[in-house]
Amino acid sequence: MARKLIAGNWKMNLLRDEGTALARDLALRLARTVDPAFDLLICPPATIIAPIAAAVAGSGLLVGGQDCHSAPSGAHTGDIAARMLADLGCSHVIVGHSERRQDHGEIDLMVAEKARAAQAEGMVAIICIGETEAERNAGRAPQICSRQIAGSLPRGATAENTVIAYEPIWAIGTGRTPTAAEVADTHAHIRAMLAVHVPAEAAGIRILYGGSVKPSNAAELLSLANVDGALVGGASLKADDFWAIAQAIAK
């Protein structure tokens, strides 16, 4: 069974001092933990990755980006290349988050190209998928996940360079989550789809659940079959809450 990954997506929050303090706090907790049962990752805003990566270097706390461009360099004002994130010490990059898909019109093909760019720089692509509430109510969640996996998974995806994050859009930041049975069903479906696209790698690719994960529901969610970790938004901005989510794995 894959070691669980607890990933914090800070989104567009925190300035340098508060972000660095939060990262240091987590790094210290991790350094004091003997043989942690999880990998711990934070994805700060791009503006503060550099000081944070420097502050936590050697602690075991992983640092990642929230997005990258698919091109290695060039005339793309305001964008960030995967190699720039790798250059700062990032190990992971989130791609295709629903907020990027919604706010920036990112489609599956673009997500696959971003994932490929991250992987080409030696980083792990965390590919986000998930249905809207309307799609869920129409009973189309499995088809949406299937379509997004088919379109967003780059050629050459392996268990080492790819993580899938299932985030039902209606659960993000709302305090609502699917039931445990629904999460288990969807993750099993995602595993089956991975087996279709990358048969040799499917069993090892980690599938995270995201959407209103908090200390009070983490133990149940993280105990489910095919739930290999969590992608945490709001609760990752507080060291106690994020750490409690990671600690829930062992309980």
Three-state DSSP state, 52: helix
212: contact with ligand G3H by CB under 6 A = yes
- CA gap 3, 36 in Å, rounded: 10
Residues in region 220-239 near ligand G3H by CB under 6 A: 231-235
Residues in region 165-184 near ligand G3H by CB under 6 A: 167, 172-173
Which of 187, 211, 241, 248 forms a contact with ligand G3H (CB under 6 A)? 211
The burial of 88, by beta-carbon neighbours within 10 Å (0-12 exposed, 13-18 middle, 19 or more buried), is given as middle
9 is in an annotated binding site: yes
| Residue whose beta carbon is closest to ligand G3H | 233
**Which residues are part of the catalytic machinery?**
97, 167
How many residues are present in the chain? 251
Q: Which amino acid is at 18?
A: E
CB of 212 to ligand G3H, least distance (A): 4
217: contact with ligand G3H by CB under 6 A = no
Nearest in space to 212 (alpha carbons), one of 177, 164, 182: 177
Say which residues have a Cβ less than 8 Å from residue 54's Cβ, sequence separation at least 6: 89
23: contact with ligand G3H by CB under 6 A = no
Q: Which is nearer to ligand G3H, 44 or 233 (CB)?
A: 233
- CA gap 164, 127 in Å, rounded: 5
Q: Which is nearer to ligand G3H, 19 or 233 (CB)?
A: 233
Q: Which amino acid is at 9?
A: N
CB of 235 to ligand G3H, least distance (A): 6
Query: DSSP letter string over 233-247?
Result: SGGGGSHHHHHHHHH
- The footprint of ligand G3H (CB under 6 A) covers 9, 97, 167, 172-173, 210-213, 231-235
Residue list, annotated binding site = 9-11, 173, 212, 233-234
Residue list, annotated binding site for substrate = 9-11, 173, 212, 233-234
